[in-house]
Amino acid sequence: MDAIQGGQSFTVTRDGHPVGQLVPLRRRRRFVSRQEFATMSRAAPDIHLDTFRADQDATADTYLDDPYAH
């Protein structure tokens, strides 16, 4: 149980055949302070706005009745 609590997973077998898994429960997300977020964001890759918009346009569904279409 200590290993599972530490993040390890185990496969449970019966006669050599897997029958289940013991996995750690997902932990609740913890609050990230503004300072910590700013620190993490400094290492994030640059986003090129025109490329980002082109990617969105290429993957988004478009409808003829789209009120935001140009």
pLDDT at 63 > cutoff 70: no
Q: How far is CA 38 from CA 25, 42, 46, 47, in A?
A: 29, 6, 14, 16
pLDDT at 64 > cutoff 70: no
What are the sequence ranges of the domains in the chain? Answer: 2-59
Q: What is the pLDDT of residues 18-27, one digit of tens each?
A: 999 999 988 7
17, β-bridge pairs: 14
Task: Give the list of residues 6+ apart from residue 18 with CB closer than 8 angstroms, or none.
Answer: 11, 12
Of 22, 20, 28, the C-alpha closest to 3 is 22
Q: How far is CA 35 from CA 31, 38, 39, in A?
A: 11, 5, 6
